[in-house]
Chains A and B, each alone.
Chain A
Amino acid sequence: MKSKINSFWTVVLTIIITYLIVKFAIPALSRELTGMPFPLPVPSALIFIYMVLTLIAMFLLVTFDDKPLNDFMNPIKRFLRGDFSKPVRAIGIVLVSTTVGWYVYDITVPKVAAPVALRIQHPSSNFPNKMEDLQNPMTSPTEEQVTSFIEQAKAGEIQFIEQVVPDFEAWMDETGEEDPLLAINTPAIKTFRAALEADNVSAETARAALLEVRMFMGRALYAMNCRACHGDSVAGDGPMADGFKLRPINFTDNGTIETIVEGYTFWRVQNGGPGLPLEATPWDSAMPEWKVSLTEEERWLIIMAEYDLAEKTPRIPEKH
């Protein structure tokens, strides 16, 4: 069944529905799309623009022809003339004026709400240019490193960072195995060990296995140093995340670590909150200056593991 409504109500309803969509439906939809536990509200300046656009559209619709204009104006004229009875007119006038008065009061009265601080997430004003082209040395091992890794594997003396050694030693003690690589034993390592056995290791095979070993160490370092805030699935939801007003970054989000070059990630890990420029509100950032506690190699290992866990790749530096 379709019942025709006149242009006055079309205008009123369109405005109300547009407002509801912008104010409530878009934030709700954003939650579905981002998968985050909070909505992304439309900024009030944007709401204003959308509503002005809607009003212009309605104005065009109504003034397009005399007929809709009359349709639109008649109820208003009749109301003002008192055709719906004088008391209705009086109540209407009081209601509209009160609404305007309340609105003025609401926007001018001082509110006990935290002042809003705009924050730029990836500030570049003090990012050193020379770091733009930095490449993670952990993801691109040199030929010497690969050769040395093969030698280590042959001698059964793979070099691990000290933090993971006790766990490997406990594993070897318990299982009686002598090769710590067996504890990791991902497909790449299986291939490498088989090739080692057959004595036909290619640089490619060894490189893949070395990357797995490094990834393992990076994940361990991440679990020790970063996990408490950024979470064990790098989703910015570690057990300590709720304690910070500026929540730890969720690396699985689009628009975080995949939009920046690795050199930038390294710079942020190195200098932490105190290294941020003013536009990025350094006073709210709990990110430590990791150069204080982690070696350069450890920081790169963590970055390698962080991109891998987040299933993201860093942005490629632009050619100059």
Chain B
Amino acid sequence: MTLGNLGTAVALVALLVPGMAEAKTTPDGTMPEASEEFVETGRQTYIKRCSFCHGLLGDGNGPAADYLDPRPRDFTLGTYKFRTTNSGELPTDNDMFRTVSRGLPGTAMQAFDNDTIKNGLSEEERWQVISYIKTFAIEFDDPELDPVKTGKTLSLPANRAPYSPELVAKGKEVFEKAKCWSCHGKTGRGDGNKEFRKDDWGFPIRIRNVTHPWKIKGGGEAEEIFMRFTSGINGTPMPSFVKTLSEDDRWALANFIKSLQHDLTKHQVLAALTVEGAVPDDPADEAWKNAAPMDVRLTGQVIAPPRWQNPSIEMATVQAIVNDKEIAFKMTWDDPFKDIKHDPAKEMNATEIQKVGLYSSYVAANDMIARDLETFRDSIALQFPVKTPSGTKKPHFFRGESSSQVNLWIWNADLAEQGEEATVEANARGWRQAPKPQKDDQRQVISKAAWDQGQWTVIMKRPLVTDDKNDVQFEAGKFIPVAMNAWDGSNGEHGLVMSLSSWHYVFIDAGIPASVYIFTALGFILTGGLLVWFARKAESTPQTDASEQT
């Protein structure tokens, strides 16, 4: 082999490493002239791919619309949220191209770029659809309203200072000065308002929790965040700050918002921190700082009726601390409203629902789910198999099944508020029947909770081992499956209207067995011994080979 060949091989490897294709946000060219045929082809695509949410009339009332939160855009008013134009103006063609191409993260509007989606739309097809969508609003026909021709477009700062702690600190000052917190909350969790806000169509809207990047519809990069408070978000209470904040201030603010974004952990195993002394039962205990967190993604419960497509809680962070007798779990999750009341009379009877229906939290359909404050409580549950599996076989992550039951620890905000023990221990064998609470004298979980600035923290503590055959038993060195259920009361969640997670694991360190050290030492000694022996042998062998090269 030659060094030349080697270089080629290395170059080849380097060539194969680049990342996946990113959805394009800017088109190769401008929008083609919208001939009648061009628009008609766009209509065909619209009927096939868009109409089921956006409706045959483009009014955002397709058959699937009532399942979605946020609702599909109503094209007939020409009111578009994500633009690069002045507040209240129409979007540019490129703005629409960007949205169709890469979608709106965290919503049902997904990417249609055929570079990222195999059966997506080509650039021409996307332009065709856009040309058809524009026919829904007469505003697009009026040249005087064209933001490009009238010079109402916005652009990014020419000199964008790179992300730095100083820039973020300056952005924080802007955040205070511009009172962003009055809606978005001091920590950006969307908890600034004491009641729901509504959009121009009268639908209650969530104030964005800017710490969850996967939910930032306009995109989570500083450039994209900058554009949101520069252009404002039409149809919502989000204003444009173009007149009140300088460009530099807005750029700093964008970087501050970016700095608030939560970085999701990737692991599926929660390693419990082993301590010598007592296991903490207070959310504010310093010991929690040392326990490694695991982020658990949750999503709507769509497995059983009523299938819930509008979950509120999409992530909870879990930690665990253990000593030789007890284990404590700490769960932290964002929820802008502290819901501490519960009205059982308003609960829906999900067992009678077989048909998929409109159980969207903001639609009055069926009058079944009230999305209201002070109706339902916030709640969270940990779920474990009663029998820790020895192989891979587990109960189903959604409440187990008749042959293998799960143990649930269900914490309820209303009970906590009343000063009672808030965690109910229960057992379930599938979702068809509500979890069966254990008798009072079998309850051993002690819990304590705190709500602060749009965030709940709940601690649940229990002895590692109990004498109840319906309880999970914690044994060191075993992977114990754990899953979560969560309810946001003011989102109408209760019963099977909830968020849930798949199985993760909790692991209690059993130390390293002595055999590991023995094998390691053997490996080291044997190899070393052999090499030394070879060396001796080589030294004692006379140097016969004269043709040795250097």
Chain A interface residues toward B at CB < 8 A: 1-6, 10, 13-14, 17, 20-21, 24-25, 28-29, 31-32, 35-37, 70-71, 74, 77-78, 80-82, 89, 93-94, 96-98, 100-105, 108-110, 112-115, 117-118, 163-164, 166-168, 170-171, 174-175, 183-187, 216, 219-220, 222-225, 227-229, 231-235, 237-240, 242-246, 252, 272-274, 278, 281-284, 286-288, 292-294, 309-311
Contacts and interface: CB of A to CB of B under 8 A. Distances in A.
Most interface-central of A4, A20, A28 (chain B CB within 10 A): A28
A31 B20 contact: yes
A231 B477 contact: no
A77 B311 CA distance: 68
Most interface-central of A5, A229, A242 (chain B CB within 10 A): A242
Contacts of A28: 16-18
B520 A105 contact: yes
A285 to B, nearest CB: 8
Given A101-B520, A110-B512, A170-B61, A5 B299 contact: no
- Mostly helix, strand, loop or mixed at chain B's interface? loop
What's the interface size class on B, roughly? Answer: 35 or more
Contacts of B298: 243
A274 B396 CA distance: 8
Contact of B523 (A103, A113, A224, A293): A103
Most interface-central of A233, A234, A274, A283 (chain B CB within 10 A): A283
Interface in B29-68: 43-44, 47-49, 51-53, 55-57, 59, 61-64, 67
Given A224-B356, A284-B503, A93 B513 contact: no
Q: List 8 A-B pairs, minimum CB-CB distance, nearest first.
A: A243-B299, A101-B524, A104-B523, A97-B528, A245-B502, A223-B52, A223-B64, A80-B538
B1 interface: yes
A21 B108 contact: no
A186 B52 CA distance: 16
Given A108-B515, A110-B510, A244-B299, A97 B531 contact: yes
Contacts of B56: 167-168, 170-171, 183
Given A108-B520, A239-B106, A25 B502 contact: no
Interface in B277-305: 297-300, 302-305
A242 B52 contact: no
Given A167-B55, A168-B56, 19 more contacts: A2-B3, A6-B549, A25-B12, A35-B20, A82-B535, A94-B528, A98-B524, A105-B519, A110-B513, A167-B63, A175-B57, A224-B63, A225-B307, A228-B309, A239-B110, A242-B299, A243-B298, A284-B394, A309-B119
B52 to A, nearest CB: 4
B469 interface: no
Contacts of A227: 64, 108
9 contacts: A80-B531, A93-B528, A114-B268, A167-B56, A185-B47, A220-B52, A233-B112, A240-B300, A244-B299
A70 B538 CA distance: 15
A114 B479 contact: yes
A171 B61 CA distance: 10
A163 B365 CA distance: 14
Given A21-B13, A252-B119, A273-B396, A229 B302 contact: yes
A282 B61 CA distance: 36
Given A163-B63, A284-B397, A112 B271 contact: yes
Nearest to A174: B57
A196 B297 CA distance: 54
Contact of A70 (B3, B48, B532, B547): B547
A101 B527 contact: yes
Contacts of A281: 392
A292 to B, nearest CB: 6
B53 A282 contact: no
B398 interface: yes
A166 B52 CA distance: 12
B188 interface: no
A239 B44 CA distance: 25
A96 B524 CA distance: 9
Given A74-B548, A166-B63, A311-B119, A29 B1 contact: no
A74 B549 contact: yes
Contact of B302 (A5, A168, A184, A228): A228
B263 to A, nearest CB: 15
Contacts of A231: 110
Contact of A219 (B48, B61, B299, B537): B48
A269 to B, nearest CB: 13
Contacts of A78: 548
B117 interface: yes
Given A274-B401, A286-B398, A25 B503 contact: no
B304 to A, nearest CB: 7
B221 to A, nearest CB: 18
B396 A288 contact: no
Contacts of B522: 104
A118 B297 CA distance: 22
B219 interface: no
B19 to A, nearest CB: 8
Contact of B44 (A31, A36, A167, A186): A186
Contacts of B53: 223, 232
A283 B2 contact: no
B240 interface: no
B507 interface: yes
Contacts of A278: 393
A117 B297 CA distance: 20
Contacts of A242: 214, 297, 299
B108 A239 contact: yes
Nearest to B516: A108
A231 B311 CA distance: 16
Contacts of A104: 519-520, 522-524
Nearest to B53: A223
B1 to A, nearest CB: 5
B538 A81 contact: yes
Contacts of B163: none
A286 B17 contact: no
Contacts of B299: 240, 242-244
B354 interface: yes
B6 interface: yes
Most interface-central of A171, A233, A274 (chain B CB within 10 A): A233
B305 to A, nearest CB: 6
Most interface-central of A171, A220, A245 (chain B CB within 10 A): A245
A252 B425 CA distance: 43
A237 B118 CA distance: 12
Contacts of A103: 523
Contact of B62 (A13, A35, A167, A292): A167
Given A25-B17, A97-B524, A288 B47 contact: no
Contacts of A115: 392, 479, 505
A242 B298 CA distance: 8
A245 B523 CA distance: 38
Interface string B524-550: 111110011011011100010101110
Given A4-B2, A70-B547, A281-B392, A292 B305 contact: yes
Contact of A245 (B111, B398, B503): B503
